[in-house]
Structure 1
Amino acid sequence: MVQKIELANGLRLVCEQIPHVRSVSIGIWVHTGSRFETESENGISHFLEHMFFKGTKNRSASEIAEAFDRIGGHVNAFTSKEYTCFYAKVLDEHASYAIDILSDMFFNSIFAEEEVKKEKNVVFEEIKMVDDTPDDIVHDYLSEASYGVHSLGYPILGTVDTLKTFDGDFLRDYMKRHYTAEHVVVSMAGNIDDQLIDTVKSTFSAVKPGKQGPKVEAPTFLAKRITKQKDTEQAHLCLGFNGLQIGHEDIYPLVVLNNLLGGSMSSRLFQEIREKRGLAYSVFSFHSSYQDSGLLTIYGGTAPNQLNDLYDGIKQTLDSLVAGNVSEKEIENGKEQLKGNLMLSLESTNSRMSRNGKNELLLKRHRSLDEMVEEINEVTHKDVNRLAEQLFNRDFSLSLISPTGELPDSLMK
């Protein structure tokens, strides 16, 4: 059972007690990401994530790293389009120590200019690494093709030009505006006790409340094409379809639909493109939900001379779904697989911490495992057919990286 506590400053704490384990996972979730940045700020949420590890008033960067190694724990962070998370997983006996370090990073990071300069170079190299990974950067191009100049189309890492303008004062100003109590959730799962909860409440009551967060406008789905010429061995193709926002009433039917489309080894795309035609090693689909929109992505990588065949195979697969050629057996198998994956994933304290933190931050509600299983069970054949027609019977966005940068002939018609 998830326990929710709201502090006087508006910060929320969510806890899930799992007494039979010896670990505790702790995450600080902040409702900020590239979605909430201006064009000149693009990349600052991700850069701040890096800088929290670069030294505080009490610890150097190396001391932060050594502190977790010393107790056999794990610490990391990540930034998405709509949130940033700093998290640690440790033995239960070291949970208070982990909170002390995480809170020190959160409250006391100094953003020293020499560290800012060094870390800029680190992120420059990260941007280059992504640019050199076509099956990664092609997804950034798809976001741009789907949303254009809207902030959902911005790359999470930012750009070399925006990154060059960041300094300590810029970081502190952004943090003052976005890292306010009402935008922060602390999530804990594992063998936690009341003393640990009291420690978090006392520590994070110091987070200052702020004004209402930045207003964001819902994006317009643009269905554009972006192609890039790059000297690669494969052509990397992404198709994007206008999806559903987080919390939408059809989100579970969409999860089932995506699973049978390209979410597993038995999916339509995997069986048609890889197993039957032998066109790709990697082919899959996934859905990304945002607070007011969503994007269903299909990816495939193949030899450049097989690009037409790859697209034709994807199109035939989608046409079959739109025509309603989905069996009850496929849907039932997909539902059972999803339920199994859900239950297995929640055996990890880190997974439970992540689920609870994200749900509280974005939805402000928590469903039990039984409720989620029931939602999956209630998905019908009619629901899946209706969504397939709704999503795939429309124009789509596209991104392509290939040696020529030219669209397949079938897409030029």
Structure 2
Amino acid sequence: MVKMKTMDNGLCVVGEENSFVRSVALGIWIKNGSIDENKNNNGISHFIEHMMFKGTKNRTAKNIADEMSEVGGRINAFTGKEYMCYYAHTLDNHIDVALDVLSDMILNSGMKDEDMKKEKGVIIEEINMYEDSPEEIVHDLIQEESWSGSTLGYNILGTKELVNNFTKKDIEEYMSKHYIPENIVISVVGKFDFDEMFDKISEKFSVLKKKNRVERIGKLNYKKCFVTKDKDIEQVHLCMSFPSIPYNSDEIYILSILNTILGGGINSRLFQSIREEKGLAYSIYSYVETYNIAGMLNIYAATNPTQIEPVILGVMEEINLLLEKGIDEKELNQTKEQLKSNLIIGFENMNSRMSSYGKTKLMIDRIKSQDEMIEGINAVNLDSFMNFAKKTFNYNEMSTALVGRHKDIDIERIKNLCTR
């Protein structure tokens, strides 16, 4: 059973005790990401995440790494568009070490000038690595253009120029607005005692004072786009996107089934048609991105410039076939079983459970249980699936992004094909 308790300052702790394991996963989830930034500090959330590992007033960066290694634990973090997480996984008898290290990082970060200078260099190299990855670029390109005018379109890494200009004052001011108790959920799953853990967390985090939360954008306008980037590479990287539903929509399970059938694996329609039958692309798949106020269903492919038009036409052909002929009960039930299997097997991992509880509590202010998700998948029928598919695949709303050598592509011809 998942337990939940809120500290006096507003910080929420969720947890699930599991006596059948010998480990504990602990995550500090913060409602902060690139969506909370502006044009002058884009990338600061990700920069702060990096700086948390550079040492505290009590520990050096090496101390942080050594203390976790000495107990055989793992520690890491990530930054997204709407949230970030600092997390650790240890044996149950070492969870106090993980809590002490993570809380020290969040509450007592050193933010030394020399460390900031070094980490700016590291992140600039990360940006350079990103710029060498056309698959990453094409995904971000379509996001930036489709949500242009909104911070949802911001790149999580920011730019080299902005990163170079961050100061300690910038970080302190930003953290004082966003690293506040009302924006934090601490999720713990594994072999531990919830009441004991709540008391230990309270002892660490009671120093955070209650503050008013900074309101996020509450509305978003999708903008259909056709965007290209000239890059000297052998293949063309393509992304075709349709606006879809937000994370908390009742139709989220229909979207998952649609994505799985279309391009979610090697037995999907796009993989079997475009790669296996026609041999037009080595890499092709679909994926979904859902946020609190918006969502997208995306189709990605990488192919030879001479094959880009047949790939686009092949994708449209598969979409049209799905809309015209639909799916049968066998394909629907097979996909449901696939999703339920992935969900159940994933929930056998303590990190997965910790992440699910922390994310859902942080983003929609409640816990989505495994049973609720299975019921949602089971509730999808042929009629609801087809109604959703017809609503989603509207070519008048489709956005397209291409990354590759412009001289190898008939841009206008492709644009006319995608914006008809």
TM-score by length of 1: 0.97
Distance 1:339 1:281 in 2: 28
1:321 is displaced (CA, Å) by 2.2
- Tell me which residue corresponds to 2:162: 162
Tell me the equivalent position of 1:299: 300
Residue 408 of structure 1 deviates from its aligned partner by 7.3
The match for 1:43 is 43
**Code of the aligned partner of 1:388:** A
Determine the structure 1 residue equivalent to 2:20.
20
Report if the CA contact (8 A) 2:26-2:189 is conserved.
Answer: yes
Matched residues in 1 for 2:336 and 2:309: separation?
32
1:91 corresponding residue in structure 2: 91
SS where residue 241 of structure 1 aligns?
strand
Stretch moving more, 390-399 or 13-22: 390-399
SS at match of 2:40: helix
5 Å-filtered alignment, 1:149-228, equals: 149-193=149-193, 194-228=195-229
Is the CA contact (8 Å cut-off) linking 1:34 and 1:80 kept in structure 2?
Answer: yes
Residues of 2 paired with 1:58 and 1:219: CA distance? Answer: 43
Deviations 1:295-329 (A, max 9, x none): 11111111111111111111111112222422221
Between 1:397-406 and 1:80-89, the stretch displaced more is 397-406
Letter in 2 for 1:338: L
Instruction: Summarize the alignment of residues 305-344 of structure 1 with structure 2, pairs less than 5 Å apart.
Output: 305-344=306-345
Residues 10 and 330 of structure 1, relative CA distance in 2, 3 Å threshold: same
Q: Hey, what does 2:137 align to over in structure 1?
A: 137
Which secondary structure does the structure 2 equivalent of 1:412 belong to?
helix
Structure 1 contact 145–398 (Cα < 8 Å) conserved: no
Matched-pair identity in %: 42
Aligned-residue CA RMSD (Å): 1.3
Q: 1:343-382 alignment to 2 at 5 Å?
A: 343-382=344-383
Query: 1:175-209: per-residue Cα shift (whole Å, max 9, x none)?
Result: 00101100000001111113233211221222222
Question: Which letter maps to 2:413?
Answer: D
Summarize deviations over 1:129-177 as a string: whole Å, max 9, x none. 0000111111110101211131111100001121122011110110001
Residues 50-85 of structure 1: per-residue CA shift (max 9 Å, x gap): 000011000011111111111111110000000010
Residue aligned with 1:208, SS: coil
Letter matched to residue 260 of structure 1 = I
Q: Displacement, 1:367?
A: 3.0
User: Aligned-pair distance for 1:2?
Assistant: 1.0
Q: Alignment partner of 1:41: what SS?
A: coil
Cα contact 2:226–2:415 (8 A) shared by 1 = no
Identify the range of structure 1 (77-86 vs 319-328) with the bigger mean alpha-carbon deviation: 319-328
| CA-CA distance at 1:91 after TM superposition | 0.7
User: Amino acid of the residue matched to residue 24 of structure 1?
Assistant: V
Tell me, yes or no, if the aligned pair for 2:357 and 2:368 is still in contact at 8 Å.
no
**Contact 2:32 2:83 (C-alpha < 8 Å) held by counterparts:** yes
Report the equivalent of 2:291.
290
Query: Do 2:288 and 2:295's aligned partners in 1 also have CA atoms closer than 8 Å?
Result: yes
- Matched with 1:386 is 387
| Range with greater deviation from structure 2 (206-215 or 58-67) | 206-215
Residue identity in the other structure for 2:176: K
**262-271 or 336-345, larger mean C-alpha shift:** 262-271
Give the match for residue 399 of structure 1: 401
Stretch moving more, 106-115 or 388-397: 388-397
**Residues in 1 aligned to 2:216 and 2:30: alpha-carbon distance in whole angstroms:** 16
Gaps of 5+ in 1: none
Query: Which residue matches 1:412?
Result: 416
Q: Distance in 2 between matches of 1:321 and 1:51?
A: 48
Cross-structure match for 2:264: 263
Q: Secondary structure at the match of 1:247?
A: coil
- Match of 1:280? 281
Partner in structure 2 of residue 60 of structure 1: 60
Does structure 1 conserve the Cα–Cα contact (< 8 Å) formed by 2:140 and 2:155?
yes
Deviations 1:267-310 (A, max 9, x none): 11111111111122211111111111111111111111111111
Native 8 Å contact 2:356 2:368 kept in 1: no
Q: Return 5+ residue gaps in structure 2 as ranges.
A: none
Further displaced range: 313-322 or 107-116: 313-322
The letter of the residue matching 1:105 is: M
* TM-score computed with the length of structure 2 as normaliser: 0.96
Q: Distance in 2 between matches of 1:279 and 1:352?
A: 39
Given that 1:146 and 1:240 are in contact with CA atoms closer than 8 Å, whether structure 2 keeps it comes out as no
Measure the CA separation in 2 of the matches of 1:122 and 1:188.
31
The size of the alignment, in residue pairs, is 413
Q: 1:82 matched to which residue of 2?
A: 82
Cα pair 1:144 1:154 within 8 Å, conserved: yes
CA deviations 1:80-139 (Å, max 9, x no partner) are 000010000111110011100000000000211111111011100000100001111111
Given residue 398 of structure 2, which amino acid in structure 1 is its aligned partner? F
Q: Which amino acid aligns with 1:200?
A: I
Any residues of structure 2 matched to 1:25-36 within 5 Å, and which? 25-36=25-36
Hey, what's the Cα distance between the residues in 2 that align with 1:145 and 1:238?
12
Q: Is the 8 A contact 1:243 1:293 kept in 2?
A: yes
SS at match of 2:26: strand
Secondary structure of 2:5 counterpart: strand
The DSSP-based 3-state class of the residue aligned with 1:227 is strand
Letter in 1 for 2:416: M
